[in-house]
Amino acid sequence: MPGVRGEIIYRRINGTELALDAYVQKQGARRPAVMVIHGGGWTSGSRIAYVGQLLEVLTRAGYNWFSVDYRLGPVSQYSDALDDLRAALAFIRCHADAFRIDPDRLALLGEDAGAHLAALLAAEKPAGVKAAVLIGGFYDLRELAALKAAASSDALAQASPLARVSGGMPEMLVVHGTTDREVPPEQAGRYCEAIRGAGGSCDYFTVAGGVHRAENWRPEQWSYKDFVVKWLAKPLRLIDADHEPYTGRLMKDIVYSPRHKLRLDAYVPPGRGPFPAVIIAHGGGWEAGDKVTYVTPLFEPLARAGFAWFSIDYRLTPQFRHQDQLADLRAAIDFIRRYAGQFRVDPSRIAILGESASGQMVAQLATEKNAGIAAAVSFYGVYDFIPMATDASPRSLLVRLFGMTTLNDEARNVLWRYSPLYHVHQGMPPLLLIHGTDERLWAQGVAMDKKLSEIKAPHELYAVENAPHGMENWEGHPEWAGYKQKLVDWLRTQLRH
């Protein structure tokens, strides 16, 4: 978001600096504020990961907010993270004047492991906290098989928010997907019932068909966002708080496809330019995500390196087909080339970048002639659909992406047509493949690297050793952070920057 005050150190402990980002609305006196706590399964993540959609929603609803880093580790060390959050809350209240907030109108908002930590903090009834929103949280750790090997039963009981419920807690809102397989929705419901049984207030909002991670909820499930900000308005007494956007080098919600109402966010460096540009497409299995989801760890390193960048929305399946998504990416390229002068970018130095689902998309466009790009970067992309589409069930790639209900020769031809592995050629733009080695798509990256090497097409494979799927999962791990510098250095070479 334009106007964010970044990397504010709120604590130094054991040689580690912990930071938060703060957003203070442009106008108005003291407003209520929300402390946002990222997830990542306790072991991964950062204040810029997992919560992009939530920060955008809070901003537009008129709230001030703080997105917080905390110490990461196995769930058995949750007390360290909880202690950090206490320190962050104390820091925020202490600097209420500087942040123009009312220190007695605060809320906690956490997702995944962040929801677990927010629930534990709320149980302590901290001063100034009037409400807490828990999205896809953990409530009784003793019931979760994945955690039983990590700690003793007694330790898991002590770490369970369900065991900490008592009277006088802040007002609570629990948001949970009905098909969450990591935390059964019944557990979230029991937590809410326990709060009510103790005389407290807890509302339970279910997201039909929602899986565990809110980032992966699809557009038809996004109504929870409006519910959250409207629900918060009552305990935080937010009345008629208009949002006036900041202006600056980061520009929000530029319409690049009026026909389909598709938008992008644009960052343009200071100076006359023309600058090299990177068009960023989010992942999400071709069916989830938006321009502030999954790819947020890339924004800062690209900006600091002097690149213009454009993060785009595109149409999602199953309402739209894969061909529509590729058309949207082409439309974004055409838009930026058409308005290159206004954005101060060099139309001959444009790269496209995608991750996961969109990694396949940018690789596919890189194989096309006259794509209008100088380079492409694919993070852990899919390059061969054929081994991944083994049936025509309702949730299969064949049905969701292409609307085909029979896995026959015609369907296999379509899968072949949209598999970049089979269409690489010597004259294609340079392609950088970045893959974690500890995920199932690593084999696809190796196969793509081999194919490109065989035909001597310009490319490079960069392996992030032992890393799982998703750059947000790489946050908080210095041993995996080298990909950012690799990305910048490679783009500088290819885009002559």
pLDDT (tens digit per residue) in 351-403: 999 999 999 999 999 999 988 999 999 999 999 999 999 999 999 999 999 99
What is residue 485's predicted lDDT score, i.e. its pLDDT?
A: 98
Tokens matching residue 448: 């793509």
Instruction: Write the burial class of residue 9 (CB in 10 Å: 0-12 exposed, 13-18 middle, 19+ buried).
Output: exposed
Cβ contacts of 298 within 8 Å, gap of 6 or more: 280, 309, 353, 471, 484, 487
Tokens matching residue 339: 């308005």
pLDDT band of residue 152 (cuts 50, 70, 90) is confident
Residue 149 has pLDDT above 80, yes or no: no
Number of domains in the chain: 2
Residue 153 has pLDDT above 90, yes or no: no
Q: Which of 348, 475, 373 is nearest to 431 (CA)?
A: 373
The torsion angles phi and psi of 495, rounded to 5 degrees, stand at -100, 10
What is residue 143's predicted lDDT score, i.e. its pLDDT?
A: 86
Based on the fold, state whether residues 62 and 150 are members of the same structural domain: yes
What string of DSSP letters covers 79-123? Answer: HHHHHHHHHHHHHHHHTHHHHTEEEEEEEEEEETHHHHHHHHHHH
What is residue 166's predicted lDDT score, i.e. its pLDDT?
A: 95
Based on the fold, state whether residues 204 and 285 are members of the same structural domain: no
Based on the fold, state whether residues 218 and 331 are members of the same structural domain: no
What is residue 147's predicted lDDT score, i.e. its pLDDT?
A: 79
Instruction: Give a yes or no: residue 409 inside a domain.
Output: no
pLDDT (tens digit per residue) in 257-305: 999 999 999 999 999 999 999 999 999 999 999 999 999 999 999 999 9
Q: What is the largest CA-CA distance in the chain?
A: 70
Based on the fold, state whether residues 105 and 168 are members of the same structural domain: yes
* CATH number of 41's domain: 3.40.50.1820
Residue 229 has pLDDT above 90, yes or no: yes
Based on the fold, state whether residues 176 and 308 are members of the same structural domain: no
Q: Confirm if 256 and 335 have CB atoms less than 8 A apart.
A: yes
What is residue 370's predicted lDDT score, i.e. its pLDDT?
A: 86
pLDDT (tens digit per residue) in 180-197: 999 999 999 999 999 999
Residue ranges making up the domain that contains 374: 250-384+419-494
Instruction: Give a yes or no: residue 392 inside a domain.
Output: no
pLDDT (tens digit per residue) in 100-126: 999 999 999 999 999 999 999 999 999
Residue 230 has pLDDT above 90, yes or no: yes
* C-alpha span between 494 and 236 (Å, rounded): 50
Secondary structure of 429-471 as H, E, C letters? CCEEEEEECCCCCHHHHHHHHHHHHHCCCCEEEEEECCCCCCH
**Coil vs helix vs strand at 353:** strand
pLDDT band of residue 133 (cuts 50, 70, 90) is very high
Instruction: Give a yes or no: residue 395 inside a domain.
Output: no
Based on the fold, state whether residues 205 and 257 are members of the same structural domain: no
pLDDT (tens digit per residue) in 451-482: 999 999 999 999 999 999 999 999 999 999 99
What is residue 478's predicted lDDT score, i.e. its pLDDT?
A: 96
Q: Confirm if 81 and 71 have CB atoms less than 8 A apart.
A: yes
Instruction: Give a yes or no: residue 398 inside a domain.
Output: no
pLDDT (tens digit per residue) in 40-51: 999 999 999 999
Tokens matching residue 83: 């202690």
* C-alpha span between 2 and 57 (Å, rounded): 14
**22-36, 194-208, 428-442: least confident range:** 22-36
* C-alpha span between 472 and 296 (Å, rounded): 8
Picking from 236, 258, 274, the residue at the C-terminal end of a domain is 236
The torsion angles phi and psi of 352, rounded to 5 degrees, stand at -115, 145
pLDDT band of residue 29 (cuts 50, 70, 90) is confident
Instruction: Give a yes or no: residue 100 inside a domain.
Output: yes
